[in-house]
């Protein structure tokens, strides 16, 4: 990932879409339908975008769609992401955020499926990320200066925008959507956690655990973007209560996420349109 490489990616995309997004939305596994309200102007497969990281996980469509909300707000939605556990570098994982920023987006909504550690959480509920624990063991800001001229020493306190958190809570309230709030712990994966690891995470203050999101949030904060993080609690990872990892298949997790999709979709749309 270089500044020149990013310019090439941007040049390609501005030829494929006339729209300049205000919002970037990264949609995790099974969450593609969360932007089904989008009036799509262009859909571009990741595989055709120069320098774009290519993913390997089923359940992801792996395309960038640019379009308008019914109220006319321009959104760039990344359907599917590449994960650190697929072998990509943290910079590659976060690259879509750099691209969205280069296209004009100044707000990032990042979503994921996560295991619930907080005993009050139920499968299929949504959780607003109010903070995170980066336990991946790497950082997208590490390495040569990229993007050029941006500090590496980025503040991560208040990474999740307090105004957006308030607006999301108000939106959920209006729509009678149960919205939890908590700390998201990101691990590299791809293996699920041991019992001891789950206890450790809970003791450390994590409410949910997953394998994504943090790289994108760090890149976005380096670029000065506002961030909202939204997790779908796809399985109960509370120590002891949780099923054995072998008992929950990727397909099972996807099906819980897909059922939660309408709530995520309504929440995101309402949030964006009320801010416009
Ligand atoms: N652990 C880690 N990542 C996850 C989980 C989990 O239980 N569920 C969804 N992503």
State pLDDT tens for residues 146-202.
Answer: 777 788 899 999 999 999 999 999 999 999 999 999 999 999 989 999 989 999 999
Q: Phi and psi dihedrals of 164, rounded to 5?
A: -65, -40
Map out the domains of the chain with their CATH numbers.
3-235+242-275 (3.40.50.1580)
| pLDDT over threshold 80, residue 247 | no
Distance CA 32, CA 235 (A): 19
Ligand 1 pocket: which of 59, 113, 122, 124 to mutate (most atoms within 8 A of CB) = 113
Q: Per-residue confidence at 33, pLDDT binned at 50, 70, 90? A: confident
Just list the catalytic residues: 29, 60, 83, 85-86, 113, 211-212, 235, 250
* Mean pLDDT across the chain: 92
**Token pair for residue 106?**
């100044």
Cis ω before 193 (30° cut-off from 0): no
Check: pTM over 0.75? Answer yes or no. yes
Beta strand residue intervals within 117-239, DSSP E: 126-135, 179-187, 208-210, 226-236
- Best residue among 114, 125, 256 to mutate for probing ligand 1's pocket (most ligand atoms within 8 Å of CB) is 114
Please choose, from the candidates 227, 226, 234, 228, the residue with its C-alpha nearest in 3D space to the C-alpha of residue 209: 234
């Amino acid at each position: 990932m270089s500044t020149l490489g990013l310019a090439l990616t941007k040049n390609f995309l501005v030829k494929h879409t006339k729209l300049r997004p205000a919002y970037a939305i990264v949609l995790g596994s099974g969450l593609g339908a969360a932007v089904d309200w989008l009036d799509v102007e262009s859909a571009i497969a990741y595989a055709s975008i120069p320098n774009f990281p290519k993913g390997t996980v089923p359940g992801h469509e792996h395309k960038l769609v640019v379009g308008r909300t019914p109220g006319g707000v321009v959104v760039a939605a990344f359907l599917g992401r590449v994960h650190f556990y697929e072998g990509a570098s943290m910079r590659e994982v976060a690259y879509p955020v750099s691209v969205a920023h280069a296209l004009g987006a100044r707000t990032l909504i990042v979503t994921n499926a996560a295991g619930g550690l907080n005993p009050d959480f139920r499968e299929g509920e949504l959780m607003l990320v109010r903070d995170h624990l980066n336990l991946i063991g790497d950082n997208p800001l590490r390495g040569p200066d990229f993007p050029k001229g941006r500090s590496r020493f980025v503040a991560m306190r208040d990474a999740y925008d307090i105004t957006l958190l308030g607006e999301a809570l108000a939106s959920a309230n209006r729509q009678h959507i149960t919205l939890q709030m908590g700390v998201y712990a990101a691990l590299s994966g791809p293996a699920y956690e041991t019992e001891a690891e789950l206890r450790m995470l809970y003791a450390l203050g994590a409410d949910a655990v997953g394998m994504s999101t943090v790289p994108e949030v760090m890149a976005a904060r380096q670029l000065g973007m506002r961030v909202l993080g939204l997790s779908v609690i796809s399985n109960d990872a509370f120590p002891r209560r949780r099923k054995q990892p072998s008992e929950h298949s990727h397909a099972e997790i996807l099906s819980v996420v897909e059922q939660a999709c309408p709530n995520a979709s309504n929440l995101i749309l309402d949030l964006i349109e009320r801010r416009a």
